[in-house]
Amino acid sequence: MRVRHFSLLVSWVALLFICVQPALARSDKGYLVVHVSPPETYIYADGEPIVESKGHYIILTPGEHKIDMYNYGFKPETRNVTIVAHKWWNIHVAMQAIPGMISGPWGCITIEGAPHAAILLNGKDPAAFFVGHGDEFDNEWVWKQELIVPPGKHELTVNNLHLDPWTTTVEVQANQRVVVDAYKGVRKTVPWARGQQLTEVPRFHAGIASAEVAVEKVTGQFAASSEQVNCGDSAHLTWSSTGAGITEINGAPVSASGDQTVEPKQATDYKFRAAGPGGVYTSDATVNVNNAIQASLSVSPAEVRTDGANPQGTATLTWSAPNADAVSVDPIGSVGATGSREVQITPANTVQGPVDESVTYTLHASNACGASETRTATLHLTGSNGVLQGTANTPPEPQAEAPQIAAEAPLALPQTDSKLPLMGLMGILFLAAAAASHMILKNLA
């Protein structure tokens, strides 16, 4: 019996070779055989759906080609090949399985009339939304060939190399089976008792004539650490997802789970999206930005006196501009957001005389979020410029020269031509002397 089977196999191979060889000889194409595990893996060449690997080879033009391999429950694989006319090329690939089991509830989809076509669910990119090929989902009799999906609405796409893509929406209830005629639409919905019997199942399982693809429901979480930040401060975004082939924030791809620090300049809404064959999860978080600058500027003392002895005045400038990243004070220049500085003030008028001047300081503050503020502070300068004033500060008036004193001359009596005045004076002196003597003698007695 074994000999007969072996002889029959050899005959079939020989017949195939005889039939194929003339065609190969006449063609200017090359040939690719993909040996991949699992063999149900589907082959895309240069972005076009071709056929499942099991039992097929691919005819390609000579040159470089990109070969993509997809099987739900496994990580996609890519190889680059160089095809030569009339030559066979073989590649060997072992797909990497995604570990773990998944649980329901579930419904089921049966797809008829799409042999060798790629089947995508809820998206058009095979790297994220491929679930299998038509021959895996077209039977529900003795050998089960089922596409098992989470309950809900699903966008089903049939992608065939020789036909335009066909898409329809399928609503699947738990423990129900929906039968779809490819390129026509949903044909019927019937109970699916097996759904109640399934607990945890692998994402992919295939036998000799059976196949089960159980699609994991897409779930996710997304949050921002703060709902409001000051300009220049940051917020922290965190997210996670399961069952997704594509994850993005505001349209930019991100890993399935992760975190990110953001520094918005204005109120920003961050939208997280996780999508895969098992559905789409979306969530958003808004971070508001406070861009207000509460600026202040003061000078102390507000009035300074200068005079000839103190030609310069001294004051202290103090400023604050929180939430600003560019601050300057005229006429000082750039300064930090908060600080103080001692300033020396000299009268602008150099002409001698009274001083009555004002010095104005101006603070300019701005930030990257579009806000700006201006503040001023004025110092009053009084006193004098080089000339002392007032009682204590008035210079003495010039004094006249003191007259020169002549040398003492001998005492001499005034001279006169008449003797009477001289005699009268002598008489008076005599009488005074006599009176004084009398008083002395009386006191002695």
Among 239, 244, 253, 242, smallest CA distance to 123 is for 244
CB atoms within 10 A of CB 344: 9
Q: Judge if the upstream peptide bond of residue 105 is cis by omega within 30 degrees of 0.
A: yes
Instruction: Please indicate, yes or no, whether residues 37 and 88 belong to a single structural domain of this protein.
Output: yes
Give the number of other CB atoms < 10 A from CB of residue 406: 6
Enumerate the H helices of 120-275 as residue ranges: 126-129, 194-197
User: Among all chains, which residue has been given the structure tokens 């002409």?
Assistant: 351
Cβ neighbours of residue 306 under 8 Å, at least 6 residues apart? 312, 313, 345, 346, 347, 355, 381, 382, 383, 384, 385
Other C-beta atoms closer than 10 Å to the C-beta of 378 total 11
Final residue belonging to a domain, choices 173, 197, 214: 214
Range of 361's domain?
296-385
Burial of 100 (0-12, 13-18, 19+ CB in 10 A): exposed
Q: State residue 432's pLDDT score.
A: 60
Residue 71 within a domain: yes
**CATH code for the domain of 253:** 2.60.40.2470
Asked whether residue 201 is assigned to any structural domain, the reply reads: yes
Total number of domains constituting the chain: 4
**Where residue 306 sits, what CATH number does that domain have?**
2.60.40
Same domain? 240 vs 331: no
**How high is the pLDDT of residue 403?**
52
- Residue ending a domain, among 290, 312, 333, is 290
CB 58 within 8 A of CB 35: no
CB burial of 193-210 (b: ≥16 within 10 Å; e: otherwise) equals: eebeebeebebbebeeee
Domain boundary (50, 68, 94) is at 94
Dist CA 373 CA 245 (whole Å) = 48
- Looking at the fold, whether 130 and 205 belong to one and the same domain comes out as yes
pLDDT for 278: 96
Phi, psi angle pair for 202, to nearest 5°: -75, 160
pLDDT score for 9:
39
Co-location of 130 and 112 in the same domain: yes
Cα angle, residue 168 at apex, residues 162 and 170 outer, rounded to 5°: 135
Element spanning 169, H or E: strand 166-172
In a domain, 347, yes or no: yes
Do 232 and 173 share a domain, yes or no?
A: no
Same domain, 169 and 66: no
Residue 417 lies in a domain: no
In a domain, 141, yes or no: yes
Around 367, how many Cα atoms within 13 Å sit in the side-chain half-sphere?
A: 23
pLDDT number for residue 291: 92
Note whether residue 416 is domain-resident: no
Write the DSSP string, 392-435. TTSPPPPPPPPPPPPPP----PPP-S-SHHHHHHHHHHHHHHHH
Alpha-carbon span 136 to 116, nearest angstrom:
9
262 exposed, middle or buried (CB, 10 Å; 0-12, 13-18, 19+)?
middle
Q: What is the CATH number of the domain that holds 48?
A: 2.60.40.1120
Per the structure block, which two tokens stand in for 317?
A: 């400038």
Do 206 and 243 fall into the same domain? Answer: no
Half-sphere exposure of 139 (CA within 13 A, CB side): 12
State whether 113 and 128 are in the same domain. yes
**Domain co-membership, 107 together with 210:** yes
Do 305 and 352 lie in one domain? The reply is yes
Q: Is residue 407 part of a domain?
A: no
My answer on whether omega of the bond before 38 falls inside 30° of 0, hence cis, is: yes
Same domain? 371 vs 324? yes
pTM for the model = 0.70
User: For every one of its 445 residues, what pLDDT tens digit does the chain have, with 9 covering 90 and above?
Assistant: 333 333 433 344 344 444 444 444 446 899 999 999 999 999 999 999 999 999 999 999 999 999 999 999 999 999 999 999 999 999 999 999 999 999 999 999 999 999 999 999 999 999 999 999 999 999 888 788 999 999 999 999 999 998 999 999 999 999 999 999 999 999 999 999 999 998 899 999 998 889 999 999 999 999 999 999 999 999 999 999 999 999 999 999 999 999 999 999 999 999 999 999 999 999 999 999 999 999 999 999 988 888 766 677 789 999 999 989 899 999 989 999 899 999 888 887 777 778 888 899 999 999 999 999 999 999 898 888 764 433 333 444 555 555 554 444 444 444 444 444 444 445 555 556 656 666 655 555 5
How far lies 163's CA from each of 54, 182, 288, in Å? 21, 12, 49
Same domain, 205 and 229: no
User: What is 317-380 written as a DSSP string?
Assistant: EEEE-TT-SEEEEETTEEE-SEEEEEEEE--S--SSEEEEEEEEEEEEEE-TTS-EEEEEEEEE
Cα gap 10→18, rounded to integer Å: 12
61 domain residue, yes or no: yes
